[in-house]
Amino acid sequence: MKSFIVLVIFASLASCSGDSNDSNLDLSNFIKPEYEFKESMLRCNLVPGETLNSVERFIPKLVNSLSQTGDSPDELYFLFPVIEDEIETQTFELLLKHAEESSLDRFNLMLGDLSFGDIADCNVSSALSGSLRLTNQLINLSPVIAEVLECEYKDGYSYATMKLVIEQFTDALIKNNLTIDILYTEAENSKGNFQWTNIFSSLDSRVNFVESWQELEISKVIQELLLEQSACKSSLIYRQYKVL
Residues 184 and 106 in one domain: no
Residues 60 and 78 in one domain: yes
What Rg value do the Cα atoms of the chain yield, rounded?
20
Over the stretch 42-90, which tens digit does the pLDDT of each residue have?
999 999 999 989 999 999 999 888 887 765 557 899 999 998 878 788 8
Last residue of a domain, one of 128, 144, 174: 128
What range defines the domain where residue 57 resides?
37-128
Residues 109 and 147 in one domain: no
Confidence tier at 28 by pLDDT (50, 70, 90): low
The CA–CA distances, whole Å, from 209 to 176, 204, 212 equal 11, 9, 5
Residues 146 and 119 in one domain: no
Domain with 216 in it: what CATH number? 3.30.70.100
Task: Say if 28 falls within a structural domain.
Answer: no
Give the whole-angstrom CA distance, residue 170 versus residue 88.
Answer: 32
Over the stretch 115-174, which tens digit does the pLDDT of each residue have?
999 999 998 655 678 999 999 888 989 999 999 999 999 999 999 999 999 999 999 999
Domain with 90 in it: what CATH number? 3.30.70.1430
Q: Are 116 and 159 in contact (CB under 8 A)?
A: no
Task: Say if 31 falls within a structural domain.
Answer: no
Residues 158 and 90 in one domain: no
Task: Say if 15 falls within a structural domain.
Answer: no
pTM: predicted TM-score of the whole model, two decimal places: 0.84
Last residue of a domain, one of 71, 95, 128: 128
Last residue of a domain, one of 103, 128, 153: 128
As for how many domains the chain has, the answer is: 2
Task: Say if 140 falls within a structural domain.
Answer: yes
Task: Say if 83 falls within a structural domain.
Answer: yes
Helix (H) or strand (E) holding 224: helix 217-229
Residues 98 and 159 in one domain: no
Per-chain mean pLDDT for the chain? 85
Task: Say if 17 falls within a structural domain.
Answer: no
